Structure 1
């Protein structure tokens, strides 16, 4: 064989190998940037920052949160680690992005609740396995990870950790969003991103690793905040604070009550004496049960004390609704529902009575509270509570994440999302029922001679009542 033949053969082998590698890369990275492009892009790309929201009512708003998660997965470099703990996954796009990340040398670790098996889970499991002791896995905690093993408890947290994504390190994302189609198309959700707080990230990884142990007995709650500014964590001064449930809670020790107790509703200006009211805006997926009742009473009391309060909910217990909407000396607390049925001819006869039932096509899955005003004696505080904790009795025994964020920019972004839902009748409805009734009232009239007399007249006035919401959960409701 001549030297020329050897050279030509070598070139052919190199070309064949290169073409084969290119085809393999193209087939693998269906939802990610190619492996050839990834290192260069990773050096420049910056992880998302702040809160992101989907919009179930608009097609272009459906997958906003999912796209941010996939974008971050796609920029994780070889040697980095992705850790995700969520209630549910059914998005093949997310699984494929994680598979591609694993094939370029990223450790992929995912914890899920044990209620659902589907194609997206199987695709990821086939790639990374299911042993939580290994470097990569997808594992379903049995009846919660850190809670007591019983039929009522769940892994309900929703957080995402990336040791590196692009030029961003120690990326943390927390909120209400699962990686499901339902979360994008039928629910309102939020996901807050932050990066660069290395101690907070280390603590979140510690929580994740503790969840991997999948305990059979309830573990103690874990609280942290990165490096506390005053030696101990304080949500009125620290940028972020975290409490990981399960956490025994009741009317004397509930974290929501502690937070609301720190809210001062009316603050007088020391110079002018002008009164400023603290503003509270609550977007809650579900409120019900004994816990829902006492938390509803607590936020209603803040309204009675002078706070400007607004509440939206996806689903509410009738008794809890009665507690929340009971009259105060200021009137009733402003209340709207995100639970809506937009397809009245879908023929969902859930109770088999021959009548098409109203079901929740759209509803909020968010669990956030915006506080703007005096908090823990700090005037003009701006903060948000988000995470996975519903205002219901079952929540406190689950794996949950309670996450607070201080800062005017973040609070304004959450408020913009809240106002967009509140002010648009496509997105929310009045939760009170208004009817009209005739009333006989006395009036004083003046005759031509200047004398006055009293007469009775009939007037028609609105009457506000609290009625049971007519909406059934339906096939799009997720009890999480």
Structure 2
């Protein structure tokens, strides 16, 4: 089974005892969504959003069919292309692949799970990458992952409505080409790695 669906199929949206709202929180950061595989995952994410889960998505590239599935949801694009050749990216870039769930998951109202992966949600990703690790019931890890996705979401410059293709050059606002160092918690990350 697809690792993302192996997690998402075990989610119930209400009855969470470890979230303030009682709704299960789902945070997704996956760089590329494409083809039928990406669409299957997107349909499940949409289903959970409609069922009342607290869902937030950040991504880099997504086919229009998949963007249509997620339309109206809290989903933001993190990539912002600059330069005439459209191959230089701002700091606003996400390369993560995975998701975190806090709430009613795997039969536990106080459950947590993190999917950490190396694969884009595409057919090629399924065949070319093999690193998928699912951490069940690690509340601290799920909380850190969810907070990180929330930070990325707050910084992401684009939504599904103003999506930009990776091949499209964009003109940055003067003075806004890069995030400032203080916008990223480097000290916190270094402390965790140390």
Shorter-chain TM-score range: 0.7 to 0.9
Q: Which residues in structure 2 correspond to 1:153-232 (within 5 Å)?
A: none
8 Å contact kept, 1:286–1:392 = yes
Partner of 1:430: 158
- 3-state SS of paired residue (2:15): strand
Partner of 2:70: 324
Residue 472, structure 1, aligned to residue 147, structure 2? no
Q: Which residues in structure 2 correspond to 1:42-441 (within 5 Å)?
A: 253-267=1-15, 276-325=22-71, 332-341=72-81, 343=82, 346-348=83-85, 357=86, 360-362=89-91, 363-405=93-135, 406-424=137-155, 428-433=156-161
- 3-state SS of paired residue (1:400): coil
Q: Residues 470 and 299 from structure 1, CA distance in 2 versus in 1: closer, same or farther, beyond 3 angstroms?
A: same
8 Å contact kept, 2:3–2:115 = no
Note the C-alpha offset of 1:383.
Answer: 2.1
Note the C-alpha offset of 1:360.
Answer: 4.0
Q: How well do the aligned residues superpose, as a CA RMSD in angstroms? A: 2.4
TM-score by length of 2: 0.75
Q: Residues 412 and 301 from structure 1, CA distance in 2 versus in 1: closer, same or farther, beyond 3 angstroms?
A: same
Q: Which whole-Å CA distance do the structure 1 matches of 2:117 and 2:160 have between them?
A: 28
Unpaired runs of 5+ residues, structure 2, are: 170-194
1:314-341 deviation line (CA, Å, top 9, x unaligned):
111111111122xxxxxx2101111113
- Structure showing greater radius of gyration is 1
Note the C-alpha offset of 1:308.
Answer: 0.4
1:364-396 deviation line (CA, Å, top 9, x unaligned):
110120100011211111221102122111122
1:10-60 deviation line (CA, Å, top 9, x unaligned):
xxxxxxxxxxxxxxxxxxxxxxxxxxxxxxxxxxxxxxxxxxxxxxxxxxx
Q: Which whole-Å CA distance do the structure 2 matches of 1:401 and 1:473 have between them?
A: 31
Q: Which whole-Å CA distance do the structure 1 matches of 2:29 and 2:163 have between them?
A: 19
Q: Residues 400 and 340 from structure 1, CA distance in 2 versus in 1: closer, same or farther, beyond 3 angstroms?
A: same
Q: Residues 383 and 257 from structure 1, CA distance in 2 versus in 1: closer, same or farther, beyond 3 angstroms?
A: closer
8 Å contact kept, 1:383–1:404 = yes
Q: Which whole-Å CA distance do the structure 2 matches of 1:384 and 1:281 have between them?
A: 9
Unpaired runs of 5+ residues, structure 1, are: 1-252, 326-331, 349-356, 434-466, 475-480
Note the C-alpha offset of 1:414.
Answer: 1.5
Which gives a bigger RCO, structure 1 or 2 (Cα 8 Å, sep 6+)?
A: 2
8 Å contact kept, 1:314–1:365 = yes
8 Å contact kept, 2:61–2:165 = no
Note the C-alpha offset of 1:432.
Answer: 3.1
